[in-house]
Amino acid sequence: MRPRFVHLLRAEWTKLRTVRGWTIAMLAAGLVTVALGLLIASGDRASCGDGASEEACPAAPVGPGGEAVQDRFYFVHQPLTGDGTITVRLTSLTGIITYPPPGHDEIVDDVVPWAKAGIMIKDGAEPGSAYAAVMMTGDHGARMQHDFTHDTAGLPGGASNTSPRWLRLTRSGDTLTGEESADGVRWTGIGTIRLKGLPDEVQVGLFVASPCDLTVNSSLGGSSEECRFTQATAVFDRVDVQGSTPLGTWSGIEVADDDGQTDWEKDHRPNGLVRSGDTFTVSGAGDIAPLGDSGAAPIERTLTGTFAGLIIVIVVAAMFVTTEYRRGLIRYTLLASPRRGRALAAKAAVIGVVTFVVGLAATAVTLPLGTRILRANGINILPVSQLTELRVVVGTAALLAVAAVSALALGILFRRSIAAVTVGVAVVVLPYFLAVGAVLPESAAAWLMRVTPAAGFAIQQSIPAYPQVIGHYAPSTGYYPLAPWLGFAVLCGYAAVVLGLAALRLRRSDA
Amino acid sequence: MQATIEVNDLHKRFGSTVALDGMTFTVRPGRVTGFVGPNGAGKSTTMRVILGLDAAASGSALVGGRPYRTLRFPYRHVGALLDAAALQPSRSARHHLLWQAHSQGLGARRVDEVIDLVGLRQAARRKAGGYSLGMRQRLGVAAALLGDPPVLMLDEPFNGLDPEGIVWIRGLLRSLAAEGRAILVSSHLMSELQDVAGHIVVVGRGRVVADTSMADLIGQHATLEDAYLELTRDAVEFRGAS
């Protein structure tokens, strides 16, 4: 004989499927998620050009890790064959920021916190190619970075004439070691990393980059971002390359020169190299970093309709049990399964699994279709690994399922549809709306997405926020304060608590 | 499997109200036992305690010698009709029985059998919400019979039945008892039980005031109704001056 629990599962499944309204509502939950996602995707358009002629925006280069990157900087380089070492002394890092707040009326001499100047070994000068670099930054001291997303801190401080900083980068096979020194004698390691598949011939040299200066103006219902042009200038001397350098001469290029410079840049302060004897003065703009969401859409943009499906799922899941209380049918449920914990477990499992399957079908259809529509509308999609895509698709379905189980438990606690649905929507969907819709200040929005069950929406975030890249990281731009699985765990925690309370109430009270 | 219900010294209060105050009786196989008493006497509460729906403060209630909550597939041990209105109105009668059958490891064939037994074949696929009270009673009886149980507990099964339905259910109850089942039928109308119950348990204020055969009860009084009024005189809370 099969275990009793299987029969309870079958009974609850029979209950769920034999009320036509619920079947229709569950299908509607899936369909509305698909429809809303595709509708929003088809309304999203982007084009690039000067207004007279619209053309597709160029796709961002892709880094070795598969992510979209920005790879724009000034590079003074020459080829290096095989193993080798580059050592430099950095005596100055200065720069300009154009028209910063509060006045927005002048160009000031300053460096942005993540302006970068240092030495680099890179797999050619193509944007997106693998690299490792040792650098001084505007505000974050010495760093070693590689392949766009990886960042290791060295010692803090800056570089100046009176206290210069020495940097050294050594290649040995596919191992690269970054070091720094205050005097060129005693060296401190920053990091050792591996660049798999780095070819024998690489480009070695000096680089300068300076990301734009971001300010975010938040207001009720939205925010505007402004990123102003900045430029950094570094002075290097004691430049020494050990190893096989067949050319023996330096040349400077603008990596990823997309001709995006303003006239002012070209005329007044062009990026480039000024060489005076052994002193190299290099000016650069741009950044070497993951792209973030500027100019491209993350895959989860297509799942914007999830909240609508979620509301329907909450209603069905709550009514799945509250109607039993309303009609007195709960007594027959408990007659059929006097072990009340099991009755609850069977109900929760059925509503959870059914919601998961419906949600998975919806997300598995919406994401590929939606990204296709976005691409057709000229919007580039930020590439992510298949594993991340799977996490977003499956995780969204799991988010719906866990919310459904929570709503069921709320139904047992309140025994009334209105109360259970109201509370369910108020704690799961409403915080998401308030946070993502930029109704609240960003700090409050971030807290909502940390401490309420809406934290579970973090499972949809495909592009992480990087501390070493300045960006507008807020729920309204698709960045949640908790990591995907951590946010999902918060939702699961709430579900477990409310399910436990429901079990307690069900067990203790007379039916 | 014993076909008995044994209720022993049940006590229960709802707040300051005493609901059960030493309720004790036994329902034996092979006959219909009437369970009568005024409103608030504790009939429904006793039934709910027997079925594990309500917890008693003390005492025991056993079905076939075992507490209801320990039964594997309880419908196969005892069938219960509690509240004919307890159904999801938008679910068909057949599906209402089907989920209960599935919960007990039974299949659709058994559902169709009990539907035929209670005469609902024509209406089985209609939404139960459209059922008259009489049809709902038949549906409730069908659910109670699903597991072909040796013990049956029916709370006010005559409610809402038309004369034909009352004749039908009396015949059904008699034949089920003749098969050796133990059957407890509650009612507040003695006359409904007159031709069907072989034994009567009269309760008032949470305890048994009479536990006797129908023949003895009628022998002592002019009519069953007189017997009932006599026995429950002290047990009812309100009664018009007479």
pLDDT value at position B190? 79
Contacts of residue B208, defined as CB under 8 A and 6 or more positions apart, other chains included, come to B23, B24, B25, B201, B202
Residues of B in contact with A339 (CB under 8 A): 69
**Residue A225 pLDDT > 90, yes or no?**
no
Residue B147 has pLDDT above 50, yes or no: yes
CB-nearest partner of A327 from B52, B71, B88 = B88
| Predicted local confidence at residue B191, as pLDDT | 79
* Cβ-defined contact of A339 to B72 (cutoff 8 Å): no
- Name the helix (H) or strand (E) containing B169: helix B163-178
Which chain A residues contact residue B70 at CB under 8 A?
338
Of A261-275, B82-96, B222-236, the range with the highest mean pLDDT is B82-96
Q: Which residues of A touch B82 (CB under 8 A)?
A: 328, 331-332, 335
Write down the mean pLDDT value for chain B: 91
Instruction: Please tell me which residue of chain B has the smallest CA distance to A323.
Output: B88
Q: Give the pLDDT score at A187.
A: 96
In B, which residues are within 8 Å of A324 by CB distance?
88
pLDDT tens for B20-55 read 999 999 999 999 999 998 888 899 999 999 999 999
Query: Closest approach of chain B CAs to the CA of A346, in angstroms?
Result: 10
Contacts 24+ apart (CB under 8 A), B234-237: B234/B204, B234/B205, B235/B37, B235/B38, B235/B41, B235/B203, B235/B204, B235/B205, B235/B209, B236/B38, B236/B204, B237/B38, B237/B40
- CB atoms closer than 10 angstroms to residue A241: 18
Strands A230-244, A279-284: pairing kind: antiparallel
Mean pLDDT of all residues in A15-26: 97
Which pair of structure tokens corresponds to residue A461? 């975030």
Q: What percent of chain A has pLDDT over 90?
A: 79
The end-to-end CA distance of chain B, in Å, is: 49
Chain A residues touching B48 at Cβ < 8 A: 331, 510-511
The β-bridge relationship of strands B182-187 and B31-36 is: parallel
Chain B residues closer than 8 Å to A350 by CB: none
Give residue B221's pLDDT: 79
- Considering only the beta carbons, identify the residue of B53, B89, B90 that sits closest to A331: B53
Show which of residues 115-144 on chain B sit within 8 Å of chain A, judged by CB atoms. 143
Task: Check B68 against A328: CB less than 8 A apart.
Answer: no
User: A15 contacts in B (CB within 8 Å)?
Assistant: 88, 91, 99
Pairwise CA distance, residues A131 & A204, whole Å = 10
The CATH code that applies to domain A69-290 is 2.60.120
Please give the Cα distance from A451 to A428 (Å, whole number).
11
Provide the shortest C-alpha distance from residue B200 to chain A (in Å).
Answer: 26
Mean pLDDT, to the nearest integer, of A197-218? 93
- Contact present, A211 and A287 (Cβ < 8 Å): yes
CB pairs under 8 A between A and B: 87
In percent, the amount of chain A with pLDDT more than 70 equals: 95
A219 has pLDDT over 90 = no
Chain A interface includes B85 (CB < 8 A): yes
Enter the tokens of residue A134.
Answer: 């040792």
Tell me the ipTM for this assembly. 0.93
Residue A502: how many other CB atoms lie within 10 Å: 23
- Residue A58, classified by CB atoms within 10 Å of its CB into exposed (0-12), middle (13-18) or buried (19+), is exposed
State chain A's mean pLDDT as an integer: 92
**A71 at the B interface (CB within 8 A)?**
no
Q: Does B88 touch chain A (CB under 8 A)?
A: yes
- A264 CB-near residues (< 8 Å, 6+ apart): none
Span A397-441, pLDDT tens digits = 999 999 999 999 999 999 999 999 999 999 999 999 999 987 888
What pLDDT, in 10s, does the model give residues B87-100? 999 999 999 999 99
Is the minimum CB–CB distance between B15 and chain A shorter than 8 Å? no
Say which of B74, B75, B99 has its CB closest to residue A14. B99
Chain B residues within 8 A of A338 when measuring between CB atoms: 52, 68-71, 74
Confidence at residue A258, expressed as pLDDT on a 0 to 100 scale: 62
Measure CA A460 to chain center.
10
Q: Is B69 on the interface with A (CB under 8 A)?
A: yes
Residue A294 pLDDT greater than 90, yes or no: no
pLDDT tens for A52-87 read: 666 777 888 999 999 999 999 999 999 999 999 999
Counting Cα atoms < 13 Å in the Cβ hemisphere of A82 gives 5
Residue B235 has what pLDDT?
67
Q: Is the pLDDT of residue B19 over 80?
A: yes
| Least Cα separation, residue B79 to chain A (angstroms) | 9
Strand B151-155 vs strand B182-187: parallel, antiparallel, or unpaired?
parallel
pLDDT band at B241 (very low <50, low <70, confident <90, very high): very low
Decide if A347 touches B, using CB distance below 8 A.
no
Contact of A96 with A141, CB cutoff 8 Å: no
The Cα B121–Cα A286 span in angstroms is 79
Decide if A20 and B90 are in contact by the 8 Å CB cutoff. yes
SS3 assignment for A140-189: CCEEEEECCCEEEECCCCCCCCCCCEEEEEEEECCEEEEEEECCCCCEEE
Q: Does B84 touch chain A (CB under 8 A)?
A: no
**Residue whose token pair is 């908790």:** A482
CB A456, CB A491: distance < 8 Å: yes
Burial grade of B3 (CB within 10 A; 0-12, 13-18, 19 or more):
buried
Per the structure block, which two tokens stand in for B148? 């072909």
Query: Which of A249, A215, A254 is CA-nearest to residue A231?
Result: A254
- Beta-carbon separation of A19 and B90 below 8 A: yes
Chain A contact for B42, CB < 8 A? Answer: no
What does the pLDDT look like over A229-257, one tens digit per residue?
A: 899 999 999 999 999 999 989 999 988 86
Pick from A1, A2, A338: CB nearest B68: A338
CA angle B180, B186, B190 (to 5 degrees): 105
Do A18 and B99 count as a contact with CB atoms less than 8 A apart?
Answer: yes
- Closest residue of chain B to A320, computed from CA coordinates: B88
Q: What is the DSSP letter of B131?
A: -
Residue in A7, A21, A324 nearest the CB of B103: A7
**Which A residues in the span 266-325 are in contact with B, Cβ-Cβ below 8 Å?**
323-324
Burial of A294 (0-12, 13-18, 19+ CB in 10 A): middle
Give the pLDDT of residue A186. 96
pLDDT at B226: 82
The residues facing A232 across adjacent strands are A95, A284
pLDDT at site A271: 86
Nearest CA in chain A to B81: A332
For residues B211-235, one letter each, b for 16 or more C-beta atoms within 10 angstroms of the residue's C-beta and e for the rest, the string is ebebeebbeeeeebeebbbebbeeb
Smallest Cα distance from A348 to chain B, Å: 15
β-bridge mates for residue A283, sequence order: A233, A272
The pTM for the full model equals 0.92
B53 to A2: CB separation less than 8 angstroms, yes or no: no
Any A CB within 8 A of B62 CB: no
CB contact under 8 A, A332 and B95: no
Mean pLDDT, residues A360-386: 94
* pLDDT tens per residue across span B103-115: 999 999 999 999 9
Contacts A511 to B, Cβ<8 Å: 48, 53-54
Q: How far apart are CA A35 and CA A214, in angstroms?
A: 35
Tell me the backbone φ, ψ of residue B188, rounded to 5 degrees.
-105, 5
User: CA-CA distances (angstroms) from residue A440 to A444, A455, A474?
Assistant: 6, 16, 11
With an 8 Å Cβ cutoff, is B10 touching chain A? no
